[in-house]
């Protein structure tokens, strides 16, 4: 059965779309080899494993950065609270590095510990925003072209007497360096689930279940709530993640870092940004061939949607290795404390029509910005019109069932006889809906029994009128098939060669080639 409830016909021939894709894959496969990417060279440098937290803090030491990302060469301010007399800072770039997972960029930084003032929640919006003094300013200016490469970075904070540890996460961009891939870290979703200070955008992990209508980037990320470890404290959902079900809060093992490790291990020419960059810059993708959304990318502003759609219209390939993507509309506002732009996230969600000021101002011209689900009125802009799929259900933990094994994207993939990719369907899943993009192909249609019925997750592909390819995995757990970080401590191992080869085929279609480092 297809996602629309109609029985699918057996495809004995590839068809026009399949022939086009097959031709593209063959063409890309015979392109001449080129020099090692900057990422290959970066990951050939010695890595360190001491980036991992061994004693996660519970407010003894914590902090946040002045921006979610900076362009290479720009400064970044850290705001740090600690009950210790001194705090040490070690800054790591995250990647593969022979399996150690990170490289120490700067260490030996010791600063005085300062008890910063704790904010209180705004009684109306629930906004919690810190007004802390600057603790340290990081400079990324360098004469060495190989230093401060674009990447996701963790500043590891350690209290001198308590030994407690936490992270500050940030991204270094390289806006002017052409690259094949742009990896977006979905920090708006990190912030939606962040309950530091007692408030997130969810009642089940907010104090008194009075959830916040506005949340601030001017605060640390709270301690990881995973029952078997706090290794992600301060890093948002990069390492470990928290997902909210209507009746319970569930923790998972994260998604973004797994794909970062695999992409860098394979030597893909990848640069990094955040969805704040996608929001603020119409040319966020300049010089790239493809853009990747990974894991959990739930909260999108109107600007994000417009900028990604415009990029697709100019031929940028899109890879959604994620689910529950572009589900809630948000707005971004300046900080009421510092005035800096895009530091406050507005998300009224279920009460938007009753409480969002734009729903109450009597001005229909701005109703398209009300923070409801994208598919709901008055926005009425379903996410599958961009992705090909949209959110179906949660929680799920099952197998992906490939239903079009003869499609060119499965070329060279050694699928098992049952055509299943075990354990990669979940935690939330998306499926195809009617009235999706023209020419949408459903590559995998994966059943999952839930609440006495069967739900489906779909993997899809379509080609936009611009010629851009748009792939959607329809699952958050796809990157677990690429890399087993966090297994078996937080989840069972799921990596497999079929998922890795499918991903390589997708990226090749989008215009990216792997150049692994030599052993």
What contacts 13, CB < 8 A, 6 or more positions away?
none
Nearest Cα to Cα of residue 397 among 325, 452, 446? 446
- Give CB contacts under 8 A, 24+ apart, made by 112-119: 112/85, 112/86, 112/87, 113/61, 113/82, 113/83, 113/84, 113/85, 113/86, 113/87, 113/159, 113/160, 114/80, 114/81, 114/82, 115/81, 115/82, 115/83, 116/79, 116/80, 116/81, 118/197, 119/197, 119/219
Annotated domain spans of the chain: 52-176+200-243, 253-327+383-510
- State the Cα–Cα distance between residues 216 and 499, nearest whole angstrom: 37
| Alpha carbon distances (Å) from 438 to 2, 24, 296 | 16, 20, 25
State pLDDT tens for residues 423-458: 999 999 999 999 999 999 999 999 999 888 999 999
For β-strands 69-71 and 165-173, DSSP reports them as parallel
Phi, psi for 354 (deg, rounded to 5): -100, -25
| pLDDT (0 to 100) of residue 515 | 73
Q: How far apart are CA 118 and CA 95, in angstroms?
A: 34
- At 405-417, the pLDDT tens digits run 999 999 999 999 9
Neighbours of 317 (CB within 10 A): 27
The mean per-residue pLDDT over the stretch 252-258 comes to 90
Superfamily of domain covering 52-176+200-243: Immunoglobulins (2.60.40.10)
Its pTM stands at 0.92
Q: Please compute the mean of the pLDDT values over residues 41-49 and round it to a whole number.
A: 96
Confidence of residue 31 (pLDDT cuts 50, 70, 90): very low
pLDDT digits (tens, 9 = 90+) for 461-488: 999 999 999 999 999 999 999 999 999 9
Per-residue pLDDT, 514:
82
The 8-class DSSP code of residue 133 comes to: P
Looking at the DSSP bridge assignments, the partners of residue 458 are 445
CATH number given to 253-327+383-510: 3.40.50.880
List CB contacts of 28: < 8 A, sequence separation 6 or more.
508, 509, 511, 513
Q: What is the mean pLDDT of residues 205-209?
A: 88
Q: How many CB atoms lie within 10 A of CB 161?
A: 12
pLDDT for 11 beyond 70: no
């Amino acid at each position: 059965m297809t996602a629309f409830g109609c029985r699918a016909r057996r495809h004995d021939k590839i068809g026009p779309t399949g022939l086009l894709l097959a031709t593209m894959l063959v063409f890309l496969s015979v392109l001449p080899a080129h020099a090692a990417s900057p990422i290959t060279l970066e990951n050939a440098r010695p890595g360190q494993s001491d980036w991992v937290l061994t004693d996660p803090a519970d407010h003894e030491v914590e902090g946040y950065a002045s921006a979610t990302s900076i362009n290479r060469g720009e400064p970044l301010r850290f705001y740090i609270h600690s009950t210790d007399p001194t705090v040490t800072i070690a800054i790591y770039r995250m990647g593969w590095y022979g399996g150690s997972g990170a490289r120490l960029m700067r260490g030996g930084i010791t600063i005085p510990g300062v008890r910063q003032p704790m904010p209180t929640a705004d009684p109306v919006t629930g906004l919690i925003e810190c007004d802390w003094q600057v603790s340290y300013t990081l400079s990324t200016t360098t004469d060495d072209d190989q230093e401060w490469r674009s990447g996701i970075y963790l500043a590891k904070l350690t209290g001198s007497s308590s030994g407690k540890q936490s992270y500050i996460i940030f991204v270094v961009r390289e806006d002017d360096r052409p690259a094949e891939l742009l990896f977006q870290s979905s920090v708006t979703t990190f912030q939606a689930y962040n309950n530091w200070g007692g408030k997130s955008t969810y009642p089940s992990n907010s104090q008194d279940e009075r959830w916040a209508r506005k949340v601030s980037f001017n605060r640390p990320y709270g301690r990881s709530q995973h029952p078997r470890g706090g290794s992600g404290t301060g890093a948002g959902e990069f390492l470990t993640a928290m997902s909210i079900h209507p009746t319970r809060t569930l923790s998972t093992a994260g998604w973004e870092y797994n794909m970062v490790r695999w992409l860098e291990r394979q030597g893909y020419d990848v640069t990094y940004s955040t969805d704040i960059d996608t929001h603020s810059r119409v040319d966020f993708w300049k010089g790239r061939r493809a853009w990747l959304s990974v894991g959990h990318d739930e909260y999108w502003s109107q600007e994000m949607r417009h900028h990604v759609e415009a990029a697709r219209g100019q031929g940028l390939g899109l890879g959604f290795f994620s689910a529950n993507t572009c589900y809630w509309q948000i707005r971004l506002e300046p900080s009421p404390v510092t005035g800096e732009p895009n530091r406050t996230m507005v998300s009224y969600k279920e009460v938007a029509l009753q409480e969002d000021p734009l729903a109450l101002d009597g001005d229909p011209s701005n109703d398209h910005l009300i923070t409801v689900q994208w598919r709901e009125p008055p926005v009425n802009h379903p996410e599958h019109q961009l992705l090909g799929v949209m959110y179906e259900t949660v929680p799920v933990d099952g197998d992906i069932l490939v239903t079009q094994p003869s499609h060119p994207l499965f070329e060279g993939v050694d699928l098992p006889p049952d055509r299943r990719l075990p354990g990669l369907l979940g935690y939330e899943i998306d499926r195809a809906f009617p009235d999706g993009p023209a020419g949408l192909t459903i590559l995998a249609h994966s059943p999952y029994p839930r609440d006495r019925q069967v739900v489906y997750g779909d993997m899809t592909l379509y080609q936009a009128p611009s010629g851009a390819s748009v792939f959607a995995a329809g699952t958050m757990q796809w990157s677990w098939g690429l890399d087993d970080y966090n297994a078996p401590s937080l989840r069972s191992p799921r990596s497999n060669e079929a998922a890795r080869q499918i991903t390589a085929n997708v990226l090749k279609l989008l215009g990216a080639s792997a150049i692994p480092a030599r052993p």
